[in-house]
Amino acid sequence: MKKQIVFIMTDTTRRDMLGCYGNPKMSTPNLDALADEGIRFENAYTAQPVCGPARSAIFTGTFPHTNGMVTNCIAMGENVKTIGQRLTDNGLHCGYIGKWHLDGSDYFGNGVCPEGWDEEYWYDMRRYLDELSDEDKVRSRKSETAYEADMTEDFTYAHRCSNRALKFIDEYKDEDFFLVVSYDEPHGPCLCPPPFNEMYEGFKFEDNPNFQDDLSKKPLMQQLWAGDAIDKKTEEINRPSKQLSLFLGCNSFADYEIGRVLDAVKKDLPEAMVIFTSDHGDMLGNHRLQMKNAAAYKEIANIPLIIKGGEKGKVVDYPASHIDLAPTILDYMGIPVPECMEGKSMLPQIRDTGVRINDKVFTEFTRYEVDHDGFGGLQMMRAVMSERYKLVINLLDTDELYDMEKDPFEVTNLINSPEYEDIRNEMHDALLEHMNATRDLYRGYQWSCRPWRRDKHQAWANDGYTRQRLNEEYEPRQLDYDTGLPMTEAVRKKTTKDEKN
């Protein structure tokens, strides 16, 4: 059997923007059909709810704090290799069509095909803009363009990405390959032609308790983020709007374009694995918030994930994470997963949904974007999620704990609740262990010594260990500071000058 993977992703698709996730008002027939043919993950999380950092984790198998892309508009480290580079170096053909957002440039990218991907099919957003006249470049960035009489699907980035994907599939259908089709849609400006541009006129989400969240027991950052919405009534926040209507219409348009690719997969690649996900969601007024920022609420962090290539028509409630996708892809292709990757292969679970891969998964935040201090600036957050509980540490602010079984809308902050002390501390210990195990660049005693965790020992040396990088595929083994020889243990007690004497 040929080894073929088609990896499809969108930008800013919430889980409840797909019909298959329980919202019948959403028109997403193609992704719904994909879920019927594969596995739908209910509790899948992004590694960071911001475009670039989320994508860095997906395509490297390392968290943003490891690969260096802790915010938009900062590139990953030069020693970080993407899944395309690793697969290409193992003789597999890799194509990347669509939004990249990993080169440290602006929103559109620099137009340069990175190592490991097919130059002929490389098509980041800068290459799309380069096809347009200056007048059309401006039109492509205005939502109003969606309502112009001459607006057609041919003008959109999504349509042109799909066209290239169809060409790639036709050309390489008889070979092993890994193809990424990465849509910018439904992210603003939400360009889409009729009937999509008006199909959600008058729509609003079902009311739920978190539209009424006054944020009084939540981090100050969230209260500031809410702005004047903090004082508005629910009906003023959760209401129909032209902006929401167009956003959801563009989401259905993205599903239509994805359907074109899935039809080609069904025709020419019937045995191929297909993976669909989105980088993050959008608050859309929930908790009185808009867009995304330093929070782990389900609206932005709990992303859709559908995988076809194993069991059919199944739903997995166990926690899942973007960090596991790169190891899964390598495993599927028969390539050993490198030690530097911080996730694990989901392949056993894809073949048998009764297999549990994760008890807990993690997400993080450092800042929104280096160019946008107006979006909160430095906001250090680390979070851990199980099926039932979510602990969020906001290093410079109030922490959060939610019981998602009793409080699915994440309104009641239980961080200081005596009833949840044992659960909270167990989740906290797991988070600290994760930060150490992944060599989190920002770890330190401040994460453990929280106001509600008096039993934690305070020490400048933290736990006293050193943890060196485990990656030998593209770089030499690191040397032990104390001997100058190749390290024999990556994790070991760090000796001090006094201890040596």
pLDDT per residue over 179-226, tens digit each?
999 999 999 999 999 999 999 999 999 999 999 999 999 999 999 999
Please tell me the distance from the alpha carbon of residue 372 to that of residue 49, in angstroms, as a whole number.
15
Residue 371: inside a domain, yes or no?
no
Distance separating alpha carbons of residues 171 and 95, to the nearest angstrom: 12
List Cβ neighbours of 346 (8 Å cut-off, separation of 6 or more).
307, 320, 324, 325, 327, 328, 357
Beta strands 4-11 and 273-278 are: parallel
Domain endpoint, select from 316, 341, 365:
365
Splitting the chain (501 residues) into consecutive groups of 10 residues, what average pLDDT does each group show?
96 98 97 98 98 97 96 90 96 97 92 96 97 97 97 98 98 98 98 97 95 96 94 88 97 98 98 98 96 96 98 98 98 96 98 98 93 83 98 97 98 98 98 95 92 83 83 87 91 68 45
Whether 214 is in a domain gets the answer yes
**Nearest in space to 396 (alpha carbons), one of 430, 442, 360, 435:** 442
9 contacts 305 by C-beta, under 8 angstroms = no
Catalytic residue among 101, 187, 287, 322: 101
Domain boundary among 331, 365, 399: 365
Q: What is the pLDDT of residue 501?
A: 45
Residue 101 annotated in active site = yes
Task: Tell me how far apart the alpha carbons of residues 444 and 373 are, in angstroms, rounded to a whole number.
Answer: 24
DSSP reduced 3-state for 233: coil
* Residue 212 forms part of a structural domain: yes
SS (H, E, C) 288-322: HCCCCCCCCCHHHHEEEEEEECCCCCEEEEEEEEH
Question: Is 209 contained in some domain?
Answer: yes
Q: What's the confidence (pLDDT) of residue 493?
A: 85
How many whole angstroms separate alpha carbon 286 and alpha carbon 261?
33
Residue 218 DSSP label: S
How deeply is 145 buried, as exposed, middle or buried, from its count of CB atoms within 10 A (0-12, 13-18, 19+)?
buried
Domains of the chain: total: 2
Give yes or no: residues 313 and 344 share one domain: yes
Q: Are residues 361 and 384 in the same domain?
A: no
Predicted confidence (pLDDT) per residue in 379-395, tens digit: 999 999 999 999 999 99
DSSP secondary structure code for residue 354 in this structure:
T
The confidence score (pLDDT) of residue 369 equals 85
Q: For the whole model, what pTM was predicted?
A: 0.96
In sequence order, the 6+-apart residues with CB closer than 8 A to the CB of 461 are: 494
Are residues 334 and 456 both part of a single domain?
Answer: no
Judge if 185 and 90 occupy the same domain. yes
Residues composing the chain = 501
E-only strand ranges, 338-395:
361-367, 378-385, 389-394
Same domain, yes or no, for 361 and 436?
Answer: no
Residues 24 and 127 in one domain: yes
Integer Cα distance of 405 and 306 in angstroms: 23
Angle at 331 between CA 329 and CA 333, to 5 degrees: 70
Whether residues 310 and 271 fall in one domain: yes
Sign of the Cα pseudo-torsion (108, 113, 116, 120, in order): positive
**What CA–CA distance (Å, rounded) separates 78 from 69?**
11
**Cβ atoms within 10 Å, residue 271:** 10
Residues 65 and 132 in one domain: yes
273 Cβ neighbours under 8 A, 6+ residues apart? 4, 5, 6, 307, 308, 309, 332
Let me know whether 94 and 181 are in one domain: yes
The predicted structure's pLDDT at residue 499: 53
Lookup: tokens for 275:
């993976």
The answer to the question of residue 412 being in a domain is yes
Q: What is the pLDDT of residue 496?
A: 57
**394-432 burial by CB neighbour count: b if 16+ within 10 A, else e?**
bbebbbbbbbbeeeebbbebbbeeeebeebbeebbebbb
Task: Give the 3-state DSSP-derived string for 399-452, with helices as H, strands as E and coil as C.
Answer: CEEEECCCCCCCCCCCCCCHHHHHHHHHHHHHHHHHHHHCCCCCCCHHHHCCCC
Out of 337, 365, 393, a domain closes at 365
Residues 268 and 392 in one domain: no
Residue 116 lies in a domain: yes
CATH for 332: 3.40.720.10
Residue 375 lies in a domain: no
Domain around 493: 380-500
- 388 in any annotated domain: yes
287 is catalytic: no
Q: Which of 20, 51, 250, 340 is catalytic?
A: 51
CATH number at residue 419: 3.30.1120.10
- How far apart are the C-alpha atoms of 439 and 455, rounded to whole Å? 23
Is the domain of 344 the same as that of 420? no
Q: Three-state DSSP class for 380? A: strand
What gap in Å lies between CA 119 and CA 372, rounded to an integer?
Answer: 32
- Looking at the fold, whether 339 and 408 belong to one and the same domain comes out as no
Close Cβ partners of 316 (under 8 Å, ≥ 6 residues apart): 39, 40, 41, 42, 43, 349, 353
- Beta pairing, strands 314-321 & 39-45: parallel
